[in-house]
Structure 1
Amino acid sequence: MSSTPHSILRSTVFGRVIWACAGFVIIALVLLWSISGALVWHMDAQQRASILDSIAYAQEVYYGRGSEALIDEEIVEDGEPLWDDDLIYEVLEHEAQLVVLRDVDYEPVAGFPGLFADVGWQVTYLDHPEIDEPVRAHLALLRGGETITIGEFLPEGRAATLEFAMAMSFALVLIVLPLSLFTGYLLSRSVFNRIEGISQTAAAVAAGQINSRAPESDRYDEFDRLAGGINRMLDRLEALNANIEAVSVGVAHDLRTPLTNIGGRLELISRNRNDPEAVEAHLTAAEDYLAQILRIFDALLRLGEVEAGQREAAFEDVDLSQMTRDMAEAYAPIFEDANKSFQANIDDGAMIAGDRELLEQLLANLLENAVEHTRDAAQVTLSLQVDGKSIVVTVADDGPGISPANRGRIFERFYRADASRSTKGNGLGLSLVKAIADLHGATISLDAEVQGAVFKLVFPRRD
């Protein structure tokens, strides 16, 4: 599937971007209005406190010295107890308080007649032909039914704060949110394309294209690490698939001959049923072929067991020096009978954690390989050297060695260097050697710099 805009808009990545952008705008709006509301509340609280102080002082003067004193001291402006419209401009300019004293009939006695309010707090407007600024006013009842109302124009900062909050709200919703969504779309498309490349690789592999690989860039970001991990997994799967094919071909090839021979022997038994000696000979030969088949399966089972790491739980301390010395003593007569020279050079103190039985199998396979595949009078050397934190075990001979064309495949299952596959063996010995080495954290290699076949094993030394 191609990375079309429609698929990006429906993707989980873009969905998360939408939620993130919406969440950002909502949080920003909440913070904006919380701060603005706190500022407006603070300004309103200061204004209410100022008006209440003026109301309290006016009541103190009124009840202490009467309404005349209140008018003379607190309300008269420019010598006039009743203010006219022109005085309001001065009050507005100087941000002074508005006051009106009314009698029992609610008729203005002093102050600005255009200020009206009910009992308590109220935001109102003046009865004035030109001024339409809102006023916060408080009406207090006095003795005998008279009332005094004191008010202040709402602070300019209050309106500016609310206007700023409103403008920022529109900006967040109409500018920041769409811009965030557009930016998120571009980022989502980049992420989506990276993910889509991996998805297409997975689909191709599922369709049978096992050689497909996920695209990687040189940034080595999290997508490259994911793609690299998938590619390494696919490399491993491809190698395992090739190994399975090789094993299948190898098993079929190696079983065909003994099975054919067993079938031939059964046919001969049928023909020679009246000749007990011939029947006995055919049965013996058939048993040998059957034993050869069982050895193949036994080697495969052991190889699978080792590669699965099932023997690792049985690891114990192994004196590799003493074990190697014992193996050398056991194989010295075999090399002598095969007319080959054998020498062992073994250092002391090589202790490792491992499975002694498997390690003996490893050395036995290498030594038997040297017995079977070297010329007469060949010189074979088994050595063990303790070098710092490593233990190096070498099995070497001075024969013609292994050709460069075959060196890269000698550890594959069922692989044998001779094209006719006529030599003794089933091609599993070196595969088992490598599997045992891997299980013990060792590396095995074939030294290409010297004459002959030189197998080198490097074990980590136990601290």
Structure 2
Amino acid sequence: MISRYHLKRALLSGTALWAAMLLLLWLSGQLLMWQDKQTQQHEFSEFLSDIENMLEEHGFEHVLQEFELEDEVIWPEHEARAHLADEGWLVAVFEQDKLLFGAETQLTASPTGQWQTVSLGEEGEAELLSATVNLSDGLRIHYWQKRDELHAHRSAFYAQLMYWFALLSLPLMVAAIACVQVKRSRALQALSEQLAQVAHSPDSKRTEVATSNSDIITLSVAINRMLDEISRLHGNLKTMSVGIAHDLKTPLSRISNRLQSMYQDLDDPTILEGHIDKASNELAQVINTFNNLVRLNAIESGKHIQGFKTFDLSALIDELAQSYLPVFEDSGRHFEVSIVPAVHCHGDKDLLGQLICNLLENALEHSQPNAHVWLRLQSHTQSALLQFGDDGPGIPVKDKAKVFDKFYRADISRGRPGNGLGLSIVRAICEVHQAQLCLLENQPGAVFNIEIPTRQALSN
């Protein structure tokens, strides 16, 4: 059953469409009738030109023969109007203001061919073209021509067409639109029922509509995409909640234990100082986790884009690499740096610096003590290729798909320091710079490729 709302909508839509089509039909009819009048008016002007030529070439008598006035006939008013109704034309020849031949009528004639509407008595009204031709010796000819019967029939046909269209089209149009509305309302009702089911199982249920209506299909697809995104965000939220719980539980527990130990060792300053130092380190780890979360949220919000500038990426990488070189040497690792000079990119210098530091810290943390670690920068046509790699054990295959997720750590026991946000921040920085980040396959260790677009590529 169609609802009252949809019925009202169908009536309004049908009436509006009917009125628009009626107006269009009326305008089309008026245009065609105007063209008919223009055609007859053009033919009328050509006829008058022929009369003037006839006067010049053959004289006045020949013109009278053309109008069948050689017998010097004068038609009174009623005969003149009857002649106009039957023959479709009327003529009157004057000398000064005296009628010599033709119609004795009250009809006026314009100097140039103009349309006028006159009454022909029982014949009804008629549209006329009229004109005045001035001759020599004070003579002039008034000529009237009725609208062509074919054009008049066309005008009547257009009027009948408008009448029948107005009479028959409205109910048919409303019925057709009502039928469409019924189908549409059924599809929307089905979609609404499916959404009610989705509300109970948003992670597993999706909408499926059996309709040919492209708008409803598009709506269903958009809803499913929204549900997929909501599920993804919900999954990320659960992962982040679990990650925060895991990363905060241990240090907070240790801080609690330290506070209890401090209470017990208040009389021994040396032991108390040790408790304070260790509690401070655990608290710093908690604060670092929250700082990374705040930083990650700020990066993902995209607000840094407004501060993007073009800068020398080669100089930035070289400066950071030199600062980390002693750290790698002290840890027993070999650090190789290969940088193409004068490579410029458009972005946030501080964020890209943080990306480089995070990946270098990742290499320090997860590579073997005697590992070979490298950092390379190459210049491509529309991008700069940045590569970080090591020849360590690499990342297990089962962990590669999740290594950039928030709080994900391959070390299930979480025995290593860290909070699992380093590579998440790297990915967020890449996304805000429209950079392509990938973890290369079939490598002896962990090799990250980052392709950073140049200013020209970003502007496209």
Q: Compute the TM-score of the two structures, normalised by the length of structure 1.
A: 0.68
Cross-structure match for 2:112 = none
Q: CA deviation at 1:198?
A: 6.7
Q: CA deviation at 1:322?
A: 1.9
Q: CA deviation at 1:335?
A: 2.0
Structure 1 contact 135–154 (Cα < 8 Å) conserved: no
Structure 2 contact 10–177 (Cα < 8 Å) conserved: no
Q: CA deviation at 1:134?
A: 6.5
Does residue 384 in structure 1 map to residue 385 in structure 2? Answer: no
Cross-structure match for 1:262 = 255
Structure 2 contact 88–147 (Cα < 8 Å) conserved: no
Structure 2 contact 7–178 (Cα < 8 Å) conserved: no
* SS of 2:379 mapped into structure 1: strand
Q: CA deviation at 1:295?
A: 0.5
Does residue 443 in structure 1 map to residue 440 in structure 2? Answer: no
Does residue 422 in structure 1 map to residue 415 in structure 2? Answer: yes
Structure 1 contact 382–393 (Cα < 8 Å) conserved: yes
For residues 32-431 of structure 1, the aligned pairs below 5 Å read 32=29, 160=153, 164-165=157-158, 167-188=160-181, 209=202, 213=206, 228=221, 231-431=224-424
Deviation digits for residues 313-370 of structure 1, max 9, x if unmatched?
3333322112222222222222222222221222122111222222221111111111
The 1:154–1:324 alpha-carbon spacing in structure 2 relative to 1, beyond 3 Å, is closer
- RMSD, aligned CA: 4.6
Which letter does structure 1 place at the counterpart of 2:18? C
The 1:423–1:93 alpha-carbon spacing in structure 2 relative to 1, beyond 3 Å, is closer
CA distance in 2, matches of 1:93, 1:275: 133
Larger Rg belongs to? 1
Match of 1:434 among 427, 438, 447: 427
The 1:374–1:217 alpha-carbon spacing in structure 2 relative to 1, beyond 3 Å, is farther
Cross-structure match for 1:140 = none
Q: Which runs of 5+ in 1 are unaligned?
A: 44-71, 77-82, 84-89, 98-120, 126-132, 137-152
Cross-structure match for 2:106 = none
CA distance in 2, matches of 1:445, 1:179: 61
CA distance in 1, matches of 2:32, 2:386: 76
* SS of 1:410 mapped into structure 2: coil
Structure 1 contact 389–460 (Cα < 8 Å) conserved: yes
Cross-structure match for 2:133 = none
Structure 1 contact 411–431 (Cα < 8 Å) conserved: yes
Match of 1:16 among 13, 16, 23: 13
Q: CA deviation at 1:410?
A: 0.8
Does residue 25 in structure 1 map to residue 22 in structure 2? Answer: yes
Cross-structure match for 1:6 = 3
CA distance in 1, matches of 2:329, 2:298: 34
Q: CA deviation at 1:453?
A: 0.9
After the TM superposition, which of the residue ranges 163-172 and 368-377 deviates more from structure 2? Answer: 163-172
Which letter does structure 2 place at the counterpart of 1:311? H
Q: Sequence identity of aligned pairs in percent?
A: 31
The 1:416–1:276 alpha-carbon spacing in structure 2 relative to 1, beyond 3 Å, is same
Structure 2 contact 314–342 (Cα < 8 Å) conserved: yes
CA distance in 2, matches of 1:430, 1:216: 41
Q: CA deviation at 1:246?
A: 1.5
The 1:163–1:393 alpha-carbon spacing in structure 2 relative to 1, beyond 3 Å, is closer
CA distance in 2, matches of 1:12, 1:405: 56
Q: CA deviation at 1:412?
A: 0.8
Structure 1 contact 13–192 (Cα < 8 Å) conserved: no
Aligned residues: 383
Q: CA deviation at 1:424?
A: 1.4
Deviation digits for residues 166-194 of structure 1, max 9, x if unmatched?
54234213433333334434555566667
CA distance in 1, matches of 2:389, 2:88: 109
Q: CA deviation at 1:292?
A: 0.8
Q: Which runs of 5+ in 2 are unaligned?
A: 41-71, 90-117, 127-145
Structure 2 contact 2–185 (Cα < 8 Å) conserved: no
